[in-house]
Amino acid sequence: MTAGLRERPAPPVASVALRSLAALEVRRYLRSPLFLIGVGLLVWTTVVAIGDFGQNVGVTDPGDQDFLPAFCLGLLGVFVGHQLTRSLDASEEAIGASPSDGVRRTAALCLACLVPGVVALAWVGWIYAALAVGNIPLSATIGAGARAAMLLSGVVAAVGGPLFGVLVARWVRFPGSPLVAVVVLAGWVLVSTVALALPPSRAGTLLHLSAPLTAWSSADGPRSPAWVAGGSPGWYLGYVLLLCGLAATAALLPSATTPRRGRLLRLLALLGVAALACLTLAVLPDPVRIPL
């Protein structure tokens, strides 16, 4: 009771305040049990997958391993992002009286969603290192740039999942909402893969590439030769990156007041148009299936 009084700090620059809050959210993300389980799962499945590369067990290209970080970090990340956002609901009133408004708090959470992205980037490095060390021959059908774009779309999905979790937490409030979000996300991806079973067409490519995660190579049967689907992996990467931007901007909206809300809505429209443009460009190449 005798401790001396301490002067309040001078108001920091908004970016400094955001950085401090984001640093705290990053620490919370890193300690999330689901995230740690996801990392463990990613390591284990990657070890298995790398073993398969060497033995030529799979019919698909290593570029299609993007589903590993997308599942282990992205899909589980929906729950992590949601939980981090909602965990402070109990203290909402006290938090609401602090100078850090809802937009700053959500922005800090969105920045923390980069954590699984960093892990997924390291995973990409691991995949390349494993390919180089194992001297594993890769199909020349898929160029180095395209393969990198395929793998990086897994990194983006690892970020997109938790961002989607934050978005859901900010917009809907009912028990089980993150589970519904995961089912919707998985359903979207599943529906898009139906296109791979259909004869190649622009509409089929559009359906295939509209999902936030996609498989690029497949085969018509277990003994059939593998092929790579039509479309541009580079523009697809741009498209999924913009989907992340859309999710983050939409997550900021509920707590924004005018005039900030207006600016966010304009940004949302801009990102939406850009995403559509990227998707169109990704679909533009001829919808042919090239043998691997």
**Under 8 Å CB-to-CB from 90, ≥6 apart: which residues?**
none
Segment interacting with another protein, rule: CB under 8 A, options 7-15, 37-45, 219-227, 279-287: 7-15
175 counts as binding another protein under rule CB under 8 A? no
Which of 8, 176, 221, 222 lies at the binding interface for another protein (CB under 8 A)? Answer: 8
140 counts as binding another protein under rule CB under 8 A? no
Which of 44, 48, 87, 134 lies at the binding interface for another protein (CB under 8 A)? Answer: 87
141 counts as binding another protein under rule CB under 8 A? no
Residues 100-139 touching another protein, rule: CB under 8 A, are 100-101, 105
Structure tokens at 92: 């909402």
Which of 30, 37, 57, 88 lies at the binding interface for another protein (CB under 8 A)? Answer: 88
Beta carbon nearer to another protein, 260 or 289? 260
DSSP for the chain, please give it.
--PPP-PPPPPPPHHHHHHHHHHHHHHHHHT-HHHHHHHHHHHHHHHHHHHHHHHT--SS-GGGGGHHHIIIIIIHHHHHHHHHHHTTGGGHHHHHTSSS-HHHHHHHHHHHTHHHHHHHHHHHHHHHHHHHHTT----SSS-HHHHHHHHHHHHHHHHHHHHHHHHHHHH--STTHHHHHHHHHHHHHHHHHHHHHSPP-HHHHHHHHTSSS---EEESSTTSPEEE-SS-HHHHHHHHHHHHHHHHHHHHGGG--TTHHHHHHHHHHHHHHHHHHHHHHHH-S---PEE-
Segment interacting with another protein, rule: CB under 8 A, options 91-99, 155-163, 222-230, 279-287: 91-99
Which of 20, 201, 224, 280 lies at the binding interface for another protein (CB under 8 A)? Answer: 20
Total residues interacting with another protein, rule: CB under 8 A: 33
1 counts as binding another protein under rule CB under 8 A? yes
CA 242, 245, 250, 256 dihedral sign is: negative
45 counts as binding another protein under rule CB under 8 A? no
Beta carbon nearer to another protein, 28 or 208? 28
Beta carbon nearer to another protein, 12 or 285? 12
Q: How far is the CB of 14 from another protein (least distance, A)?
A: 9
Segment interacting with another protein, rule: CB under 8 A, options 11-19, 114-122, 126-134, 274-282: 11-19
5 counts as binding another protein under rule CB under 8 A? yes
Q: Which residues bind another protein (CB under 8 A)?
A: 1, 3-9, 11-12, 16-17, 19-21, 24, 87-91, 93-101, 105, 257, 260
